[in-house]
Amino acid sequence: WGNLSEKMSHVVKKRKLDKSRQDRLYFDSYSDVTIHEEMIADHVRTNTYRTAILRNTESIRGKVVLDVGAGTGVLSIFCAQAGAKKVYAVEACSIAEQAVKIVKHNNMEDRVEVIRGTVETVDLPEKVEVIVSEWMGYALLHESMLNSVLYARDKWLKPGGVILPSKAELYIAPISDPVVEDRLHFWYTVKDQYGVDMSCMSDFAQRCIMNSDITVNSVTVEDVLSHPARFAELDLSSVTVEELRAVKGHFRCSSFGSAAVNAFCVYFTVTFPCPDKPLVLSTSPFKPETHWKQAVLYLDAPVEVVQDTPVTGEVSMYPSEDSARHICIHVDYSIGEQKTQSKTFSIPDWSSEAQS
């Protein structure tokens, strides 16, 4: 896959997509059933939102709520079930038509109003006391609607209003991906199988496999080589769009034991304020899997570590120059005595390559 996507990006020297086309591609990608099935079937995601909304009944009962990027309208209906007086479900893509049916089907049309359009362009008849949104993308910020949530906050949320979730945090940990180990080792096994020595392919294989794509994958607990380190925190009541142009922070990890580090894993949590104690939706490899899985960033080459080897560095996440919705992750890192290395990663972008 790696070299195929490389090949495609050489064929198409990606021109900067104009903003309206980026948006169209993005919104179109949400008009099929599959993505909504995946999101609603993600029990951790949907149930955490449901629980958080029901636990916030005090803040929601009798209040006006805005659901940013409502999709099928499921969160809006949860809010109505929690006693909201009125919910504006704003959705830019054609799934809004289905949301209207779902709202009707649940006899909520007097409480939930589906509005087709982007939150930047819709005109609500009133300000709101609560904003709810499931805006998180892969590695938190890929394809993320966070900018839209912040726009809605600044334009429509009354002072002292509630945002659900209220906080997002980003974490990183060194990992050892055994599939990569196996794939690199494979070329050393060809001679025994077929009598032709192909071990010289391993360098080429390493360049292809340990490329600069952000790979979305489930990381197994056993492959995580240290306690994860938090490198950024976003407080949704105060963070600005300007600050999202570079979300960055330092990290320091300490290896559990002897292993070969061949990648970093990046994941996020979001936190909902609740009357008793906050509720956390986590995409950590140590917690039940979600559809976000984890973002895996391959080093150029594996590095051996032993117990307590320090792995330190700085991560910076920023929008790609090709498309503002696409995320780039730059990591400067140092493992043990090794001098600092740098690598920049991005999510391979099939949609714009295929359609440019």
Query: Is 87 in a helix, a strand, or coil?
Result: strand
Active site residues: 134, 143
C-alpha distances (whole Å) from 270 to each of 19, 136, 165, 294 are: 28, 9, 6, 14
Would strands 229-235 and 86-91 be described as parallel, antiparallel, or unpaired? Answer: unpaired
d(CA 22, CA 17): 6
Query: Is 253 in a helix, a strand, or coil?
Result: strand
**Token pair for 24:** 């169209």
C-alpha distances (whole Å) from 86 to each of 1, 206, 281 are: 47, 55, 26
Which one, of 155, 109, 111, 114, lies nearest residue 131 by Cα?
155
Would strands 294-305 and 310-319 be described as parallel, antiparallel, or unpaired? Answer: unpaired
Does an H or E element contain 264, and which?
strand 259-272
**Token pair for 315:** 């991560």
